[in-house]
Structure 1
Amino acid sequence: MSAVGHRLDTLPLGRFHRRLLFIGGSGYAFDGLDSAIIAFILPVLHELWTLSPAAMGGISSITYIGFFLGASLSGLIGDRFGRRPIMMWALALFCAASVLSALMPQYSAFMACRFIAGIGLGAESAIIAPYLAEFVASRYRGAFTASLAGFFSFGFVAAALLGTFVVPAGPQGWRWAIALTGAPVLLLLWWRRALPESPRWLESTGRHHEAAEILRIIEEESRPAGPSLPGNSVFPAPAPHTRLSLREQIDMLFSSQMRRPLAVSWSTWFCLTFSYYAVFTWIPSFLIAHGLTMAHGIGFSIAIYAAQIPGYFSAAALIEILGRGKTIAFYLFGSTLSAAALILSHGSAPIIGTAMALSFCLTGGYAGLYAYTPELFPTALRATGVGSASAIGRLGAIISPLLVGLMLPRVGYAGVFTLITVMLLAGAAIVLAFGPATAGLSLDKIDDAAESPTAHTLPEQKDRTP
């Protein structure tokens, strides 16, 4: 075990970790807020700029295209130059583009700003989970990272409130809603300036003295919460590592050792994200088709997003009990049952209740994935692996609304929800059958497995004892 890895694994969760969770999670809350607020301003922009259905769809898609680009690049850059610079620049880019989009007088300029905001959003979303996972002892890591994902739900609830009370408040209400999405990020940037670079990443690039100084500060903050902690001199530093070139990063990502983790992460992210956006893009029209009025719709939006909060945090509570793969599969199976119940429901109360259950289960699956994915990749590739999986998942967000739109006139909602259940079942089956076991493993063991020429994979999920 490396010097940094051993020292981090001796630490209890303390004040430093709580601050890290709050600051990192706040970024996810603003990510969720930005993603969700578009649904509430689209009707206003439709009237303001006389947009066609295709143009309205373009507003939703352009952010996801930017997200794909940002997530793909941030991982490569984050593994090469560090996690912290990406965290800061991605957040600043998102903040500037989001606020500027609120000022745009025409469709094309608004689209350009949304694309740039999407790049920042994708980079931010992809880098936070691997960054935080590298600070936490293995016995806490799953629940800690899953709790981080729970902050998305606060952003979705805030979007429902802004969409209900701010957007309809006047002709400029939509501009105020977007400005309120981006402007507070400046405060978050100020808080983040004090965050350190990942000591695991510093060690992996041979910067041992910087890693040791960061560890000393973390240990000082954690010391009152736990027993006496080892000092830097107790564990010798490993030999310096050479920073990988971009070509070496890509070659390592697609090497035989990474083949299974990459396939599992990409396919599971795609299946879940495809299903999530298929549901949340088309469920308003589903409700209208089943007789719910606009008044119902306002209450529904708040209720459906509020159901995400216990979804995320219940998965955080279960993940160290059931393990990563079983937790993800549990919520994906729950999502399939909820989707089937929704299509068979009649009346406003059963429909909203089953839709809330579907929201709960889908976000529980996401919490499991956010905790699991950083553990599939070694330190040298962690940001790249997570970024690539997040980007592939975002392809599902781009494809699914379009595909559902083509299918709906031909197969109806029953056919659409059948497709969603098939995708969810496929994701559950893949992670159960092929997902490497990571619960309880130190990140150093994951690094060793990736670097060893004979250790092509981590143990199967079925070999793991929770």
Structure 2
Amino acid sequence: MSPIAARLERLPFSHFHFKLLVMGGLGFMFEAVDAAIIAFILPVLRTKWHLTSFETGLLGSSTYIGFLVGALFAGLLGDRFGRKVIMMWSLMIFCVLTLANAFVNDWHTFFVLRALAGIGMGAEGAIIAPFLVEFVSNKYRGSFAGALAGFFSFGFVAAALIGFFVIPLSPEGWRIALVIVSLPVLVLLWWRKSLHESPRWLESRGRHAEAGAVVADIEAQIERRGVKLAPVVATADTPFLHEHSSSFFGNLKTLWMVPLTKTTFMTWCLWLSITFCSYAFFVWIPGLLVQHGMTITKSFGFSIGIYVAQIPGYYSAAYFNEKIGRKATIVTYMVLACLSAVSLAFSTTDLTIVIFAVALSFSMNGVNAGQYAYTPEVFPTHLRATGMGTASAFGRIGAICSPMLVGYIYPLWGFPGVFGMCTAMLAMGGLAVLILGVSTTGRTLEEITAAEYGDDHAGSLPPAKAGI
């Protein structure tokens, strides 16, 4: 373990960490509001612009085309140029373009602007977790990351409330909703003043003085609140490789070189399965309820309850991340999600549909809390943002395809076809984690890297392995 990591690992959970949690969590919440509001806008736009089921599904997929691009490049840029600047600019991009989308008058322009806004959303979602977990001790890293991801649920609930109370107010209510969800750009001012760059990343780039100054400032903030810090635990006297300087796509190549191949494959399968199913479900559920015979107002009301179920899903999984471990948490909630999806496939009454939809919402978001904690842990520091970003980007292929597939499959096979497809995808992701996943609980980020990839990886890969 490096000196910087040793100093960070002995820090207790403090006001500093709580502030990080809130700042990062609000970023996830704003992303979720913007992503989820499309589910409540689509039924209105479908009628307003006389869209087919496929065109409606295409609009539902538009954001996630941008997500793929944003997540991929955020990871590559975040490992090359730093985490903080990427997170701030990504928030600006998606807020500005979402505001612009409120003023369009045809579905083609709407599609283009949603895709461009998705670049910012995908970039932000991919960079927050690998950025902030680098400040956190292994004693509470799993709970921290799970609670961080839990802010997504507040965003979905906020979107449902906006959809229920704002969109039905007038024929232009969908425009007002988009203006409302674009407002979080104001938080940029707070972020610019308050956030540090990751000291672990700075150290991996050979910028030891800057890394030391960041940690010293964190220590001073904690001590000013009357906390006496434990002494730094001595670290083994082993060389710490740093200043990794691969080409822009060198890190992407490295992910598919031994010994990282298994980890990359496992995380990509996990993200594809849960992202595919989440967006098939949450983008379409208000519309599916309408097509099942409910009024728009009634379907939006039920959707609020379905979205609220995300909150206990996230925070129960955040607890189990530390109690039973990230891998076990992901697999357990995957099993619950499969059972819920199978039950939903054969539901016929409004009551059973809503009950099993709530259960599916709860369990899928428990998986999300596990994966946001787990994915950054299994990659070395200099590849952490790239590993997280590429897994998220690959998962967005599912987000792009699934809304369109639902639009195609539902008229043919109804609920059994849609949720049978979701069950198969969830089973694939759960098996990948069960068979290929590693245990990360109770281990520092550096210990995980050393144990899984060898001591040379604790700081940086040797140049020959980095594809330089």
TM-score by length of 1: 0.91
Amino acid at match of 1:361: S
Check conservation: 1:290, 1:346, Cα contact below 8 A.
no
Check conservation: 2:61, 2:404, Cα contact below 8 A.
no
Tell me the SS of whatever aligns to 1:191.
Answer: helix
Name the structure 2 match of 1:462. none
Tell me the SS of whatever aligns to 2:259.
Answer: helix
Name the structure 1 match of 2:312. 310
Call closer, same or farther: CA 1:241–1:172 in 2, change over 3 Å.
same
Name the structure 2 match of 1:24. 24
Q: How much has 1:289 moved relative to structure 2?
A: 5.7
Q: How much has 1:98 moved relative to structure 2?
A: 1.1
Name the structure 2 match of 1:452. 454
Q: How much has 1:317 moved relative to structure 2?
A: 0.6
Q: How much has 1:48 moved relative to structure 2?
A: 4.0
**Hey, what's the Cα distance between the residues in 2 that align with 1:165 and 1:286?**
20
Q: How much has 1:403 moved relative to structure 2?
A: 2.8
Check conservation: 1:92, 1:189, Cα contact below 8 A.
no
Name the structure 2 match of 1:319. 321
Matches within 5 A, 1:221-236: 221-223=221-223, 224=225, 226-230=227-231
Matches within 5 A, 1:332-351: 332-351=334-353
Name the structure 2 match of 1:152. 152
Q: How much has 1:419 moved relative to structure 2?
A: 2.4
Name the structure 2 match of 1:35. 35
Call closer, same or farther: CA 1:164–1:300 in 2, change over 3 Å.
same
Call closer, same or farther: CA 1:238–1:431 in 2, change over 3 Å.
closer
Tell me the SS of whatever aligns to 1:139.
Answer: coil
Call closer, same or farther: CA 1:225–1:122 in 2, change over 3 Å.
farther
Check conservation: 1:26, 1:188, Cα contact below 8 A.
no
Name the structure 2 match of 1:194. 194
Name the structure 2 match of 1:96. 96
Q: How much has 1:228 moved relative to structure 2?
A: 2.7
Name the structure 1 match of 2:128. 128
Check conservation: 1:69, 1:391, Cα contact below 8 A.
yes
Matches within 5 A, 1:37-56: 37-56=37-56
Name the structure 1 match of 2:404. 402
Q: How much has 1:433 moved relative to structure 2?
A: 1.4
For residues 186-205 of structure 1, give each alpha carbon's deviation from its aligned partner in whole angstroms, at most 9, with x where no partner exists: 23443343200000000000
Q: How much has 1:95 moved relative to structure 2?
A: 1.4
User: Is the aligned partner of 1:360 residue 2:362?
Assistant: yes
5+ residue gaps, structure 1: 457-466
Call closer, same or farther: CA 1:350–1:52 in 2, change over 3 Å.
closer
Call closer, same or farther: CA 1:282–1:91 in 2, change over 3 Å.
closer
Amino acid at match of 1:348: D
Tell which deviates more after alignment, 220-229 or 360-369: 220-229
Tell me the SS of whatever aligns to 2:139.
Answer: helix
Amino acid at match of 1:396: G
Residue from 348, 352, 371 that aligns with 1:369: 371
Call closer, same or farther: CA 1:196–1:229 in 2, change over 3 Å.
same
**Hey, what's the Cα distance between the residues in 1 that align with 2:38 and 2:105?**
17
For residues 95-121 of structure 1, give each alpha carbon's deviation from its aligned partner in whole angstroms, at most 9, with x where no partner exists: 111111112344443333212210000
Check conservation: 2:380, 2:457, Cα contact below 8 A.
no
**Hey, what's the Cα distance between the residues in 1 that align with 2:110 and 2:296?**
27
Amino acid at match of 2:165: F
Name the structure 2 match of 1:217. 217
Name the structure 1 match of 2:110. 110
Q: How much has 1:56 moved relative to structure 2?
A: 2.8
**Hey, what's the Cα distance between the residues in 1 that align with 2:262 and 2:425?**
19
Name the structure 1 match of 2:277. 275
Amino acid at match of 2:422: I
Check conservation: 1:79, 1:381, Cα contact below 8 A.
yes
**Hey, what's the Cα distance between the residues in 2 that align with 1:207 and 1:402?**
46
Q: How much has 1:325 moved relative to structure 2?
A: 1.1
Amino acid at match of 1:326: A
Amino acid at match of 2:259: Q
**Hey, what's the Cα distance between the residues in 2 that align with 1:416 and 1:72?**
28
Name the structure 2 match of 1:463. none
**Hey, what's the Cα distance between the residues in 2 that align with 1:400 and 1:242?**
38
**Hey, what's the Cα distance between the residues in 2 that align with 1:276 and 1:82?**
29
Call closer, same or farther: CA 1:145–1:453 in 2, change over 3 Å.
closer
**Hey, what's the Cα distance between the residues in 2 that align with 1:242 and 1:345?**
54
Q: How much has 1:183 moved relative to structure 2?
A: 1.6
**Hey, what's the Cα distance between the residues in 2 that align with 1:176 and 1:302?**
19
Call closer, same or farther: CA 1:232–1:106 in 2, change over 3 Å.
farther
Residue from 235, 260, 263 that aligns with 1:261: 263
Tell me the SS of whatever aligns to 1:104.
Answer: coil
Amino acid at match of 1:172: E
Call closer, same or farther: CA 1:96–1:412 in 2, change over 3 Å.
closer
Amino acid at match of 1:133: V
Tell me the SS of whatever aligns to 2:313.
Answer: helix
Tell which deviates more after alignment, 163-172 or 382-391: 163-172
**Hey, what's the Cα distance between the residues in 2 that align with 1:174 and 1:80?**
39
Check conservation: 1:252, 1:258, Cα contact below 8 A.
yes
Identical counterparts, % of pairs: 48
Matches within 5 A, 1:176-195: 176-195=176-195
Tell which deviates more after alignment, 344-353 or 161-170: 344-353
Amino acid at match of 2:32: G
Residue from 381, 384, 387 that aligns with 1:382: 384
Tell which deviates more after alignment, 17-26 or 100-109: 100-109
Q: How much has 1:295 moved relative to structure 2?
A: 4.3
Q: What is the aligned-residue RMSD (CA, Å)?
A: 2.5
Check conservation: 2:58, 2:404, Cα contact below 8 A.
no
Call closer, same or farther: CA 1:132–1:8 in 2, change over 3 Å.
same
Check conservation: 1:257, 1:455, Cα contact below 8 A.
no
For residues 299-349 of structure 1, give each alpha carbon's deviation from its aligned partner in whole angstroms, at most 9, with x where no partner exists: 211101111011000000111111111100111111111122223444333
Residue from 329, 332, 341 that aligns with 2:331: 329
Matches within 5 A, 1:153-168: 153-168=153-168
**Hey, what's the Cα distance between the residues in 1 that align with 2:197 and 2:33?**
26
**Hey, what's the Cα distance between the residues in 2 that align with 1:62 and 1:346?**
30
Check conservation: 1:63, 1:115, Cα contact below 8 A.
yes
Amino acid at match of 1:6: A
For residues 248-270 of structure 1, give each alpha carbon's deviation from its aligned partner in whole angstroms, at most 9, with x where no partner exists: 32332211011111011000111
